[in-house]
A and B are shown apart, each in its own frame.
Chain A
């Protein structure tokens, strides 16, 4: 799906976030078309988390605009939030609630019609039926990652934002999750934005990649396109080229108007 598509699910324009004198995100613009799976890549401090937090409405931009599913996220985010969801291994769920209790609460927050059936469906798909009754806090990091993903899928979102979706998972579990995400995107037509440092995962899941460095989007393309453009053999090598490149001014490449 080309980013210039008229049916953009995400439309970000001149988005900037400053914390005091530090600029975390510096006037970025991009669009993400419906049904696409886009990777958001960049080294530590590139501005990925800040960008995702602004897309989710957790962080108010200093300037610029964000429209998600046609809704202005800066002013009217709640109507879009019903259609979105998010998972990150770095944001917890209540430890003293069981897996079922946690998912039931979130099913209520997203007004899911048949919460028990939806939780059972996710437990089957993401292979956590065995620990539905266990406290979330007693789970291993990999198990927590699966529950966080289940929480993110509880409302069958049209836009799914994922931060390191397979962090802490063994290769077998990670492979199953990726397969599930691919099936979910294909069957539901959902749009996904995935921030990850796992280049194999990005190559497998994403048809489109946004490369960030120091608060700017410095390149964009398909995994194969970027590999060819930089004359490299893997996406990881492209990542290293970009992350280690000397800053030039202006170094931003943007396609959105």
Chain B
């Protein structure tokens, strides 16, 4: 493992980002527009129902935290796609760069991109709707960590899919999280889901994060078991998705796909 190579790849994404207005805008506008939309929805709820303040807060917190997972995932998978689009994979992997060093650089960049994208949305929520994400207190750190990790392993599966099926599968980078979202209990509790679907939802780390988040907002109770379940599941999925990624990478080397991707 070489910190220098990880830094070199992180620098490569920074070079790309700092001079690209569309990429910079892409960091901010999604979370900002979303928080405006959901902020007005939550205000409307609060105006029409005296007991809905907590629901409004849960909606805003849910939106912001879900965006953390989405941005974390995008940071890794779009970073990979940047190499596919520029047909640079061949050069990268004739260098001493190892696939896990590259992944680590992508994860580091995704962390920074997520923080940069989330900050304006958090500020908008505070200034316009009087909602502070930091009211979640210390558990917020655990929620954020779990959602970041979930974003990374989802991204690794997406990258594995693109390595296996080619650039035609790149839409997965934007679409995959929408498949998971209905059963991630972002805006409603797991108990709302049909009985048979609840075990599926509880196998997703994000569902435990959002259950925990609602507990803090509604009852001012932080259930550590929710957080531990999320960490445990994330650990298992991270290990499995790393294995899937490595197998897909080996398979791509066997097929010569590292040279062909992007053509």
Contact = CB atoms under 8 A, between A and B. Distances in A.
A94 B259 contact: no
Contacts of A109: 5, 8-9, 92, 95-97
Contact of A111 (B5, B15, B254): B5
B26 interface: no
B16 interface: yes
A161 B29 CA distance: 45
Interface stretch (A35-43, A95-103, A177-185, A195-203): A95-103
Given A95-B86, A96-B19, A104 B94 contact: no
A105 B254 contact: no
A108 interface: yes
B90 interface: yes
B22 to A, nearest CB: 11
Interface string B78-99: 0000110011101111111110
Interface in B207-248: none
Interface stretch (A8-16, A82-90, A217-225, A235-243): A82-90
* Main SS class of interface, A: mixed
A111 B82 CA distance: 23
A97 B15 contact: yes
B11 A108 contact: yes
User: Chain B's interface: helix, strand, loop or mixed, by majority?
Assistant: helix
B88 A94 contact: yes
Interface in B74-118: 82-83, 86-88, 90-98
B93 to A, nearest CB: 6
A91 B88 CA distance: 7
Interface string B1-21: 010110111011001100110
A48 to B, nearest CB: 13
A53 B16 contact: no
Interface residues of B, number: 34
Interface string A10-37: 0000000001000000000000000000
Contact of B87 (A57, A58, A92, A96): A92
Contacts of B157: none
Given A91-B90, A94-B86, A60 B253 contact: yes
A108 B86 contact: no
B11 A60 contact: no
Interface residues of A, number: 34
Contacts of B12: 94, 97, 101, 105
A101 B87 CA distance: 16
Interface in A60-75: 60
B17 to A, nearest CB: 10
A100 B95 CA distance: 18
Contacts of B5: 108-109, 111
B255 A106 contact: no
A113 B2 CA distance: 14
Contacts of A96: 16, 19-20, 86
B256 interface: yes
Given A59-B259, A92-B88, A96-B20, A78 B96 contact: yes
Nearest to A148: B91
B8 A94 contact: no
B143 to A, nearest CB: 34
A84 B91 CA distance: 12
A92 B93 CA distance: 13
A56 interface: yes
Interface of B: 2, 4-5, 7-9, 11-12, 15-16, 19-20, 82-83, 86-88, 90-98, 250, 253-256, 258-259, 262
20 contacts: A53-B256, A57-B253, A58-B94, A59-B258, A78-B98, A81-B95, A85-B95, A86-B91, A92-B86, A94-B82, A97-B16, A101-B12, A101-B15, A105-B8, A106-B95, A108-B11, A109-B9, A109-B96, A109-B97, A111-B4
Of all A-B residue pairs in the complex, the 8 with the closest CB atoms, nearest first, are A108-B8, A91-B90, A92-B87, A109-B95, A94-B86, A105-B12, A101-B15, A56-B94
